[in-house]
């Protein structure tokens, strides 16, 4: 299991609208896996792999009733939630605008990385106000608004003004971490600030790599789209999916795993370690029921663990694919994630492997 790739994807900063470093990393990783790789106007990376006869069996690639191969798009968003620099005050403190949905209860005292034109800066982010020693009872109960957060680079004001511009961006700065793994890391958990959604970037690469390594043929055209600006409204996926004109769209993303104390079992969405999530619906789209059955059948046949999931609120790129052009059949393949949209997003690596394995097993069967 290529855990090093997941670590590199997770530790690369890229907020909505500024995915270029993540894209550059992926572009290097996919060399040799696709026939055509291009970047569209919104920055999405579109990687197309033509149908392949099975190398060992020499089977012919079948044409379907469309007179052309079925076009399957996997949508994997590259952006992570983060902040843009909105204001720099006379003392050099920075105020921010959020890019993506934050629960500000998780934003006390964070280490951040500020990405500027002249290089990355380490900094800390705190709500303005008094520390515990001198705070009032009232202060302590308050949950800060994003607009009250201040970023402190430790640099003199003139230096900050020279190096930082309105529109520069920042992300959490915490290292990728493996937990509970014992001798085999792949049996444990992984933690990072950006599992949402570098998990999907990893799957878009590794599922195709597995098909390639196993010499499996596929009759469908497989297009992996690494999309932009998902966290602010599936924006990159809308245009990229329209450009590609897919027949089947697979939205790959994380989903909730609230199998932790304080949440009733009926709201858990997924349980960690019980397999990939087969996404039935969320508030942005309802999966094609036949595709759900198809994926389920492949999972059962190959003994890949899975769980059907419904997310009451939230959306993902599968919705953009479904409603692109004249419409497409869509389904979601998701990975349960604890502590989502925090710097401690945690996945079970067995669930990640299951998601990769089902994609690598299913894509070659699509006629």
Size of the site for Zn ion (CB under 5 A): 3
- Of 196 and 259, nearer to Zn ion (C-beta) is 196
Strand partners, 116: 119
Segment interacting with Zn ion, rule: CB under 5 A, options 81-89, 153-161, 189-197, 342-350: 189-197
Q: For residue 149, which of 231, 93, 92 has the smallest C-alpha distance? A: 93
Asked if 253 interacts with Zn ion (CB under 5 A), we say yes
User: Judged by CB, which is closer to Zn ion: 94, or 191?
Assistant: 191
Q: Determine, following the binding rule CB under 5 A, whether residue 282 of this chain makes contact with Zn ion.
A: no
Nearest to 5 by CA among 23, 29, 31: 29
Site for Zn ion in 10-49 (CB under 5 A): none
- CA–CA separation, 61 and 18 (whole Å): 39
Structure tokens given for 217: 């043929």
Q: How far is the CB of 285 from Zn ion (least distance, A)?
A: 14
197 binds Zn ion (CB under 5 A): yes
Torsion, Cα of 117, 118, 121, 126 (10° steps): -50
> Looking at beta carbons, which residue is closest to Zn ion?
197
Stretch that binds Zn ion, among 51-59, 188-196, 278-286, 305-313 (CB under 5 A): 188-196
Catalytic annotation, residues = 230
80 binds Zn ion (CB under 5 A): no
- The structure tokens listed for 99 are 């890019």
Tell whether the torsion through CA atoms of 171, 351, 230 and 262 is positive or negative: negative
- Which span (179-187, 193-201, 240-248, 294-302) binds Zn ion, by CB under 5 A? 193-201
Q: Judged by CB under 5 A, does residue 196 bind Zn ion?
A: yes
Residue 309 interacts with Zn ion (CB under 5 A)?
no
Cβ 132 to Zn ion shortest distance, Å: 34
Instruction: Write the secondary structure of 156-194 as one string of H (helix), E (strand) and C (coil).
Output: CHHHHHHHCCCCCEEEECCCCEEECCCCCHHHCEEEECC
Binding site for Zn ion (CB under 5 A): 196-197, 253
């Amino acid at each position: 299991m290529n855990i090093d790739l997941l670590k590199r994807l997770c530790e690369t900063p890229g907020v909505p609208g500024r995915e270029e470093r993540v894209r550059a990393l992926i572009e290097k990783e996919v060399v040799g896996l696709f026939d055509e790789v291009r970047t569209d106007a919104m920055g999405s990376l579109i990687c197309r792999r033509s149908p392949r006869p099975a190398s060992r069996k020499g089977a012919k690639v079948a044409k379907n009733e469309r007179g052309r191969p079925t076009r399957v798009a996997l949508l994997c968003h590259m952006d992570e939630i983060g902040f843009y620099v909105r204001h720099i005050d006379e003392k050099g403190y920075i105020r921010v605008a959020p890019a993506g949905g934050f629960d500000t209860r998780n934003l006390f005292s964070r280490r951040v990385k500020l990405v500027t034109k002249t290089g990355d800066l380490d900094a800390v982010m705190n709500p303005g106000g008094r520390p515990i020693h001198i705070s009032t009872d009232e202060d302590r109960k308050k949950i800060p608004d994003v607009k009250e957060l201040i970023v402190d680079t430790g640099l003199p004001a003139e230096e900050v003004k020279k190096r930082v511009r309105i529109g520069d961006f920042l992300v959490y700065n915490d290292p990728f971490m493996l937990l509970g793994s014992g001798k085999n890391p792949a049996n444990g958990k992984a933690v990072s600030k950006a599992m949402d959604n570098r998990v999907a970037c990893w799957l878009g690469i590794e599922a195709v790599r597995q098909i390639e390594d196993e010499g499996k043929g596929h009759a469908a055209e497989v297009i992996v789209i690494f999309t932009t600006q998902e966290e602010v409204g599936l924006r990159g996926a809308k245009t990229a999916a329209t450009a590609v004109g897919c027949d089947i769209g697979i939205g790959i993303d994380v989903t909730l795993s609230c199998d932790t104390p304080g949440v009733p079992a009926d709201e858990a969405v997924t349980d960690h370690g019980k397999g990939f999530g087969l996404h039935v619906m969320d508030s942005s789209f309802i999966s094609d029921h036949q595709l759900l059955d198809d994926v389920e059948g492949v999972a059962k046949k190959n003994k890949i663990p899975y769980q059907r999931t419904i997310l009451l609120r939230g959306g993902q790129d599968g919705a953009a694919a479904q409603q692109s052009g004249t419409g497409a059949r869509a389904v979601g393949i998701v990975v349960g994630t604890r502590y989502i949209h925090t710097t401690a997003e945690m996945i079970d690596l067995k669930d990640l492997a299951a998601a990769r394995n089902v994609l690598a097993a299913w894509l070659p069967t699509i006629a």
